[in-house]
Structure 1
């Protein structure tokens, strides 16, 4: 088979799917290694670009807007951009493959980061938010890459394949907050606010990531997987729309649990993490301390993802989803009761990262397991749309909650988001038993 199968949606597209060269089964191990290597490099770059900008996003929003109540809009704008791009990128990837979608996402992220810098220089808060929406495309690329890792993976190694790519983000993501201060100093003589310096660096990093994907992610993993699996054989149309994704999720209780897990874990994490820098400044923390705390959090998010993948493959998806509920709940308690203790806040953020990792890896693997090959691109796009839309609402609410009630109540409310996850996981475990 030399190209992807013809489908109604593909025929309706403006351009036909890109041809896929034949791949023999004996060549698959080498192809998997090559795809994984490219994704690891781009995840390091994407993680660096996203983390370096996001480290001081809430602080920059507060400085430009002049009020703490609007600081939560920084994370809201960013995750809104990620959510808005999720389905268009899924559609593009379904017709043109992962490479086209990832290149476009990184390019938009670079443009958005540049607009953030411009908004900061002009002290224009609406322009800043517009830039942050575009900046969120960098996160879209990082999220989509985990599914690219699963395209060619064997089913019993799928969670580990996802977790390896998630893990690769550790290097750039941990480094990002710690170079925020040098990035701020580097623009001091250019009339750019120090808190906007990280976004100038992020723009360049995203450009490099786009170039790496464009040149090296060949052949495309999604188009190759589709050619190998003959998507027409399972009777499922190659849907690329939001509606197609929703239909596939409605048909599978496991897919619904996976979607709730991914969205709940991500929303709780974003809500707490986005306001932690502001809470730390209330207790005298400087930029370097904030960077240290966020680095620990990001290490928890990514560094232990291979462990979460191994556990998910060995013990089952439901067990690791239950672990995610416990870790995020513990994180909300520790961070929410930390008060002026920077050490307790750091511990809470580390646990929060671990819980997010458990939820994202197990949920993503379960989602991929639960729907046919033909519907995966649409369902994966729907997943990223839902998780980031929910997190955008959470980020907006987080700023208002902290300004009116405080950081402790924010953590308590975020913990309540775990209840649907816990209930559905328990029901799934009882059915399995």
Structure 2
């Protein structure tokens, strides 16, 4: 009896480095799929609502709804992950997003706004799950590679995120052949992509990164080099301060990014551009959100979380100024402004995630991360809803400039935290 216990324990604990490499490969595959699902819906969500309701003032409602839905999902995915591991939590979230996509298609066919809004809320599960996956990438990462591990997961979204919006026109044409309204076409891609992401995670995310990190944390000294936070975690004051700062960085960048991004296709549509042009701009924006992630991760690990968090605020300000200044007819300059918007968001997300991961202990990691992402989702919902109202009352340039100025509030928060340390 005593001789078999060590053997079973040894085989139950995988090599941390090998497990981390496998986890990242599986997460990369699922993120490519989910990125396509996420981006396709974003491209036409506002246009679908505008077409169905006949007003611009509520064009930001779809973004608000699926980000509000992502808030609820962030809590659920976090709690499932805390109790049972990352694999069931992430798979359930993507499957729910696929169901929401089907609901959007049905709403468009029935011309039913109430069903559309309900389905968009459910569709938001995919957004929350896409973001939650970044935490899974860091569960088994070495302390000096946390930001780079997060970035690896984020950059995987780029391929799907860039492909999705550019398929808006072809999927719309395909939908027309099936008797589905043109603008609902991208949600066919979203539903399929989210469902496939759930299948990939269910079948291949083994060993589960969070459960493995807990096992390593209790197995001996090896865990200190593999897990991004120990079982005991940092001091209470330091941990609380880190969570607050990390959440603030991600909340503000999400609010500004969603507000400007949501109304850009509507702004372009008002200046005579079609879905192909707006899809290209959104594709460039989403590429800038995720493609720089490996560099951002290296910068965060090399130069510190605070430096890159501050750079996020400055980059978002530049984006807001440019978006406000360029003429609506210029697709190139709008694409540049949206690229800066995506880059500023990327800086904030990677730096903020690293701050959170540094300060949250394993014992409460998934639950706390889920609650932080609730705040991010609420910020996105607020930005999406307020953006349509603000553009209807003022203009797109006023919205863009306001967002840029608001992002500067990151600088005093980062400076105050850095001074306390």
After superposing on structure 2, the runs of 4+ consecutive aligned residues of structure 1 that deviate more than 4 Å are: 231-236, 247-251
Shift of 1:248: 6.9
Aligned partner of 2:307 among 297, 313, 319: 319
- Report what 1:109 is aligned to: 97
1:38-57 aligned within 5 A: 38-57=26-45
How many positions carry a matched residue from both structures? 402
Question: Do the aligned partners of residues 423 and 75 (structure 1) sit closer, same or farther apart at CA in structure 2, a change above 3 Å counting?
Answer: same
Is residue 309 from structure 1 mapped to residue 297 from structure 2 by the alignment? yes
Q: How far apart, CA to CA, are the structure 2 residues paired with 1:57 and 1:30? A: 41
Aligned partner of 1:427 among 384, 402, 416: 416
Is residue 355 from structure 1 mapped to residue 344 from structure 2 by the alignment? yes
1:321-400 aligned within 5 A: 321-340=309-328, 341-400=330-389
SS at structure 1 position matched to 2:185: helix
Aligned partner of 1:22 among 6, 12, 20: 12
Q: Is the 8 A contact 2:50 2:59 kept in 1?
A: yes
- Report what 1:184 is aligned to: 172
1:213-362 aligned within 5 A: 213-230=201-218, 234=231, 251-340=239-328, 341-362=330-351
Q: Is the 8 A contact 2:260 2:400 kept in 1?
A: yes
- What is the aligned-residue RMSD (CA, Å)? 1.9
SS at structure 1 position matched to 2:57: helix
Unaligned regions of 5+ residues in structure 1, if any? 1-18, 237-246
Q: How far apart, CA to CA, are the structure 2 residues paired with 1:336 and 1:226? A: 48
Could you report, residue by residue, the CA deviation over 1:74-113 in whole angstroms, capped at 9, with x for unpaired residues? 1001101101111111111001100001111111001000
SS at structure 2 position matched to 1:413: helix
Question: Do the aligned partners of residues 327 and 233 (structure 1) sit closer, same or farther apart at CA in structure 2, a change above 3 Å counting?
Answer: closer
Shift of 1:429: 2.8
Question: Do the aligned partners of residues 278 and 355 (structure 1) sit closer, same or farther apart at CA in structure 2, a change above 3 Å counting?
Answer: same
Q: How far apart, CA to CA, are the structure 2 residues paired with 1:185 and 1:249? A: 56
- Report what 2:4 is aligned to: none
Question: Do the aligned partners of residues 249 and 44 (structure 1) sit closer, same or farther apart at CA in structure 2, a change above 3 Å counting?
Answer: farther
Question: Do the aligned partners of residues 138 and 193 (structure 1) sit closer, same or farther apart at CA in structure 2, a change above 3 Å counting?
Answer: same
Shift of 1:317: 0.3
Aligned partner of 2:392 among 403, 412, 423: 403
SS at structure 2 position matched to 1:136: helix
Q: How far apart, CA to CA, are the structure 1 residues paired with 2:80 and 2:237? A: 20
Q: How far apart, CA to CA, are the structure 1 residues paired with 2:230 and 2:417? A: 29
Question: Do the aligned partners of residues 397 and 162 (structure 1) sit closer, same or farther apart at CA in structure 2, a change above 3 Å counting?
Answer: same
Q: How far apart, CA to CA, are the structure 2 residues paired with 1:33 and 1:234? A: 22
Instruction: Provide the TM-score with structure 2 as the length reference.
Output: 0.92
- Report what 2:222 is aligned to: none
- Report what 1:413 is aligned to: 402
Q: Is the 8 A contact 1:20 1:220 kept in 2?
A: no
Q: How far apart, CA to CA, are the structure 1 residues paired with 2:152 and 2:95? A: 24
Q: How far apart, CA to CA, are the structure 1 residues paired with 2:23 and 2:361? A: 22
The worse-fitting range, judged by mean Cα deviation, of 323-332 and 371-380 is 371-380
Q: Is the 8 A contact 2:323 2:401 kept in 1?
A: no
Shift of 1:53: 1.5
Is residue 206 from structure 1 mapped to residue 194 from structure 2 by the alignment? yes
SS at structure 1 position matched to 2:207: coil
Shift of 1:254: 2.1
Q: How far apart, CA to CA, are the structure 2 residues paired with 1:235 and 1:138? A: 32
Q: How far apart, CA to CA, are the structure 1 residues paired with 2:82 and 2:238? A: 20
Q: Is the 8 A contact 1:21 1:219 kept in 2?
A: no
Unaligned regions of 5+ residues in structure 2, if any? 1-8, 220-228
Could you report, residue by residue, the CA deviation over 1:17-65 in whole angstroms, capped at 9, with x for unpaired residues? xx997215xx111111100000000000000011112111100010111
Q: How far apart, CA to CA, are the structure 2 residues paired with 1:221 and 1:171? A: 24
- Report what 1:124 is aligned to: 112
